[in-house]
């Protein structure tokens, strides 16, 4: 197995680096200068300038009350059964409750 290097050729001799010919430039340094916009304002910009800027409600007088908890008050559902993988199922009759109790996986 042979290991190769960028400093040596395929025969193992050292490579002599050549100096660049002609004019050599330095590294480019980027600078950011924003371009002045000569564009006329769009219709959306004009509408935004015309519309009023409404202040937020600083007085904090518009609180809402807490809603009451929803609770079942009917007589149709007799209970809740747990089936496979914790699936809650409403029980409507005694026969249905027995069917769920006898059910196996």
- Give tens-digit pLDDT for 63-100: 677 888 888 888 898 888 887 777 888 899 999 888 88
φ/ψ of residue 79, rounded to 5: 180, -175
Give bridge partners of residue 90 from the DSSP assignment.
80
Tell whether pTM > 0.75.
no
pLDDT bin (cut points 50, 70, 90) of residue 47 is: confident
Average pLDDT, the chain: 81
Let me know: does 93 contact 101? Beta carbons within 8 Å. no
Confidence (pLDDT) at 2: 64
Give bridge partners of residue 89 from the DSSP assignment.
81
Rounded to whole angstroms, the maximal C-alpha distance in the chain is 100
Which has the higher per-residue pLDDT, 91 or 37?
91
């Amino acid at each position: 197995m042979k290991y190769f290097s960028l400093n040596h050729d395929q025969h193992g001799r050292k490579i002599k680096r050549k100096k660049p010919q002609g004019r050599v430039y330095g590294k480019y340094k980027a600078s950011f200068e924003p371009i002045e916009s000569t564009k006329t304002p769009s219709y959306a910009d004009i509408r935004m300038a015309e519309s009023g800027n409404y202040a937020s409600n600083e007085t904090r007088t518009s609180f809402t009350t807490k809603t009451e908890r929803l609770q079942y008050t009917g007589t149709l559902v007799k209970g809740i059964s747990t089936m496979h993988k914790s699936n809650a199922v409403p029980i409507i009759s005694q026969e249905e409750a027995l069917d769920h109790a006898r059910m196996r996986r």
